[in-house]
Amino acid sequence: MTPGESDNLQHTDAIAVSHAEMPTSDRLLESAMAFWRSAVLLIANELGLFAELAAGPRGACVLERRLGLLPDATADLLDALVTLGLVEREGGHYRSTLEASLFLDPAKPAYIGPWLAMASAAMREVADLTSRLRAPGSNELGRPLLADRSGQILPRSCASPASALWRSGRGGCR
């Protein structure tokens, strides 16, 4: 077999890869967005939400007042915690799941709060890691930070997945 024939066979093999074997972006996107789960957990812990729920189920309005939360963000935060399986909603009241109760209640011996504090500090440290890695005087590639595949800048309402979590529009309890 000549070198040219060998190259053609390799090319044919690459084309013959089945659709089921083709890589997807799923793992990459999951890794890129994993910080949202971390952020919601760390924020709820920092706010004292799990300590408050340790005293028993609470309504959103009670949590809002007791923790000093913004009215429009409370329901979104609680919904995110329900989605993560850290809080359960029953009627108009919220309570910690068994897992959250065991490990996120500061009064419990298995409380992992110091680890969460360390994770919060680390998250703040890496928040601007890109600029810390760039050499002084270097410039960016000139691409918009948030653009779709065609290069179109996304509307402000799509600028951050957090906008869905923190967006106003749900009337408060105060």
Asked if 94 contacts 53 with a C-beta cutoff of 8 angstroms, the reply is yes
Evaluate whether the domain defined by 33-123 bears CATH number 1.10.3430.10.
no
SS3 95: strand
Mean pLDDT for the stretch of residues 37-48: 96
Where do the DSSP E strands lie in 11-84?
Answer: 58-59
E strands, the chain, are: 58-59, 87-90, 93-96
Q: CA-to-CA distance for 27 and 31, rounded, in angstroms?
A: 6
pLDDT for 71 equals 84
As a whole number, the mean pLDDT across the chain is 80
With beta carbons less than 8 A apart as the criterion, state whether 28 and 64 touch: no
Indicate if the pLDDT at residue 174 is higher than 50: no
Q: Render pLDDT for 126-169 as a digit per residue (tens, 0 to 9).
A: 888 888 888 877 766 554 445 445 555 444 444 444 444 434 34
Mean pLDDT to the nearest integer, 60-83 = 95
**What pLDDT is attached to residue 75?**
92
Q: pLDDT for 75-102, tens place per residue?
A: 999 999 999 999 999 999 999 999 999 9
DSSP bridge partners of 59: 93
Task: Report the C-alpha gap between 45 and 69 in whole angstroms.
Answer: 13
Contact by Cβ (8 Å): 38, 44 = no
**Among the listed ranges 16-25, 37-46, 109-118, 146-155, which one has the minimum average pLDDT value?**
146-155
Read off the pLDDT of each residue in 48-58 and give the average, rounded to a whole number. Answer: 97
pLDDT in tens, 4-22: 555 555 555 555 566 678 9
Residues 6+ apart with CB under 8 A from 140: none
Whether residue 51 contacts residue 58, with contact meaning beta carbons closer than 8 Å, is answered with: no
pLDDT value of position 21 = 84
Spatial separation of the C-alpha atoms in residues 159 and 157, rounded to whole Å: 6
